[in-house]
A and B are shown apart, each in its own frame.
Chain A
Amino acid sequence: MTIGDVLIIGGGLHGCSAALHLARRGLKPVILERDWPGRHASGVNAGGVRTLLRDPAEIPLALAARRMWHAIGELVDDDCGYKTVGQVAIAENDAEYDRLKARAGTVRQLGFDHEELIDRAALRSMVPSLARHCVGGLAVREDGFASPYHTSLAFRRKALALGARLFEGAEAERIDRVGENWRIEAGARTFEAPVLVNAAGAWAGEWAARLGDTVSFRHILPMMMVSERVPPLVEPVVIASGRPLSLKQMPNGTVIMGGGYLGFGDLRTGRNRTDFNGLQKSAATVAELFPALRGARIVRSWAGFEGRMADDIPVIGPSAAAPDAFHAFGFSGHGFQLAPIVGRILADLIATGETDLPIRPFSANRFAA
């Protein structure tokens, strides 16, 4: 039997971030990971560190996370491949530009000033290789990207260095409340702790249901593809506002294209496939928006398991049904940037019962009719 202060289901970025922050507070977290940390969404996502175009409910968390990203080395002793290159959502026509303009107004009214509406000329100077038809955009110059797998490893390494324990290949099979403790059986091993954290990513919906929470959740497999190394072409992360696309060029010259279409996967086996019916659409969008990339060779495509909520914002906070159980899941394709702050929020909640960030919109019981 392994005993700790907190059992964390899921060794992805969010599980490791929670473990890191719990360990900083002197607690003893134990992480159970069915595969290995970073095997799924945490390690294979697009790596966008984006406050741009966040759901209003997420903005305070995203801005708090951004401060942590800008000093990520202080948190995990590793730069995580993070670069502040900016992010820009582009408008391809006046209607899209009007929507971005309205969005900018909404965000300002909420009291935030991180998003900047830019005109055609400013967009041109920010992304000279972009197709001429684009009329403007909405930008956050303090956003950027990081290397997802390196980030997952860095959080894992730091959590373990601070005293967290991690069990890989430990697929939790059975969960029981035994006295004041949660008991989990995974294969031949048994784990016990008074507090439980559900950070099980694409598998988190099942765990929420087992704890008695009714959430509107499904798993999805966002697809991505990467080119060979090409000369410097795009500095900021570019997202389309009227159709699915996210594109960035890594420091080594490869271009990562995604943000749009979904692949196939089997939750039970963890295997997944990309679908070229969708990747063709992504490629067509890239070819139209970045004519210079038409000749770039795609060397690989992939998809990663991810959890998605019906309202596209995560569940963060205590279970509505079970005692001493907390959730952090359902990030709906944009949880990477939030990981540093969400781990801290969970640690705050577990250690003190409260947090200074507004998490009410992310409650587990919001789907109850």
Chain B
Amino acid sequence: MTAFRHDVAVVGAGPAGMAAATAAAELGLDTVLFDEQPAPGGQIYRNVEANRDAGSGLAGLLGDDYGRGRRLAEAFRAGSATYAPGTSVWEIEPDGTVGTLHDGRAALVRARRIVIAAGAMERPVPIAGWTLPGVMTAGAAQTLLKSADAIPDGPVVLAGSGPLHYLVAWQLVSAGAEVCAILDTTPRANTRAALAQLPGALGQLAQIRKGRRWIAGIRAAGVRFVRHVSALAAVGTERLAAVDYEADGRKERIETPLLLLHQGVVPNNQLADSIDCARRWDDVQACWHTQADAWGATSVDTVAVAGDCAGIGGALAAEHRGRLAGIDAAARLGKIDAGTRDRLSREPLAALRRLAGLRRFLDTLYAPAATFLSPRDEVVVCRCEGVTAGDLREVAAHGCMGPNQAKAFTRAGMGPCQGRMCGLTVANVIAGARGRPVADIGAFRVRPPLKPLTVGQLADLEGVGRDIASLDAMPTRPGDGAGDGAGETA
């Protein structure tokens, strides 16, 4: 078995990962942080160290919240945690093994505790034509702004709902992009439902006002802002040519080479799912949450989750959740006692309580319309394998019970993205077709490698430490002491 090389391995360098690694290292743990990006920040604070130059105007555009990420990155860099950028994590195991890929070389390393801080991804928005080149996500445009200081070079339409939708719209308008229209798909009914959650969010009024300010800014710039949009479709043959939609009972078309979609973000919970961490379906966020205690400890006792990957809480909450996971790791590995853990945890726990009310309000207000969860028959759900919602409904009618059987029936979820882009939709569509709650339908079983690894990279895998049984070599005589060793859970 591979020897322990670290006390804690943190996966992801967003706010949760940086805070977890910083806290763990500060409390005396040998900590390593693996991250796919070349620099710390995650998606929310992407390229935060480079975008400090106020003169470019980019820092202003990205706002004060972005500045908070700079301080996190500074603290992380100043600490003693080992930083491994440009490193994909393609598997983890309950015994603390982490499979990494850096510069084309794969390795297994082992830590006593794993903190998954894999963040969020935008909820895939399955609409007709969304596989056309020129249809991207709002987050993709923001990534280009943050990492390359680039904006759309021509007309652009944004369609969707949620804080990031308005923020990116405001940023693109402010940066001088030619924004033809903002199509707002927030269902009418959401506003009334959200009002009931407003009292809980009043403590965070500044955050709510920020959103109103972005929308006001967009309108002040004279950009078309269309509310209660439905029947959204991307149109084109070789690439996107136009966007179709309905509003106020009228069918409309806007010609554009670029459409940015957004329907909120969902947890990147593949790593936790891959080792069967217990999870539950969250009806309000319409996604799975990894079950965890206040410190992020999961049902797998060597593994914690921190930040949005366990359930969407936002960047501020992620930072506190990361810090708690780092503190808890120190307590579990004997660097601090329980009393110290509780004392250090008081402040982040209180901060999280303050943020919870705002989250419920935002989740309710920007809950996606039903059509984005379970689209019409002709819409492609699995982009990799070209499987439509109609294909899934057809196999459900023929006895397909859930996402895992749907894989075998249709190949949905079996392409290179490994179900990241279709998992939630497949579950929703089958749940609808069978008249059952999504919670009962389940989700794709996630199978490593979580990032494709070539045969050659796996053949040259470093850090292989355990000699394992083969079908040919395994002794099978009864009572030979081999017992059921190979058959038991590791």
Contacts and interface: CB of A to CB of B under 8 A. Distances in A.
A308 B474 CA distance: 11
B453 A298 contact: yes
Contact count band on A: 35 or more
Contacts of B468: 261-262, 275, 277-278, 281
Interface in B75-99: 91, 93, 97, 99
B201 to A, nearest CB: 40
Nearest to B487: A219
Contact of B478 (A149, A221, A310): A310
Nearest to A246: B471
Contact of A264 (B460, B473, B490): B490
Contacts of B470: 244, 260-262, 278, 281
A299 B414 contact: yes
Nearest to A243: B472
Contacts of A279: 458
Interface in A245-303: 252, 257, 259-262, 264-267, 271, 273-281, 283-284, 286-288, 293-302
Given A216-B478, A300-B418, A310-B478, A276 B448 contact: yes
Contacts of A149: 405, 408-409
A366 to B, nearest CB: 13
A86 interface: no
Interface string B449-490: 100111110111100111111111110111000001011111
A43 B93 contact: no
Contacts of B461: 276, 280, 283
Nearest to B476: A310
Contact of B455 (A221, A275, A277, A296): A296
Contacts, number: 158
A222 interface: yes
A286 to B, nearest CB: 5
A298 B489 contact: no
A308 B449 contact: no
Nearest to B445: A302
Nearest to B276: A271
A38 interface: yes
Q: Interface centre among A221, A243, A259, A300, by most B CB within 10 Å? A: A300
A295 B458 contact: no
A228 interface: yes
Secondary structure call for the B interface:
loop
A294 B476 contact: no
A264 B464 contact: no
Contacts of A267: 487
Contacts of A273: 93, 275, 489-490
A310 B477 CA distance: 5
Given A276-B91, A280-B458, A260 B448 contact: no
Contacts of B473: 244
B437 interface: no
Contact of A219 (B414, B418, B459, B484): B484
B108 interface: yes
A355 interface: no
Contacts of A275: 466, 468, 490
Contacts of B464: 276-277, 280
A220 interface: yes
Given A260-B472, A283-B455, A295-B456, A265 B487 contact: yes
Contact of B454 (A216, A298, A300, A309): A298
Nearest to B465: A277
A153 B99 CA distance: 35
A150 interface: yes
A295 B414 CA distance: 19
Contact of B408 (A43, A168, A222, A283): A43
A260 B416 contact: no
A227 B449 CA distance: 11
A333 interface: yes
A218 interface: yes
Contacts of B487: 218-221, 264-265, 267
Contacts of B477: 216, 310
Contact of A266 (B401, B467, B489): B489
B328 to A, nearest CB: 25
A296 B448 contact: no
A295 B416 CA distance: 14
A312 interface: yes
B469 A262 contact: yes
B455 A286 contact: yes
Contacts of B456: 283, 287, 294-295
B472 A296 contact: no
6 contacts: A228-B415, A276-B91, A278-B468, A295-B454, A295-B456, A298-B458
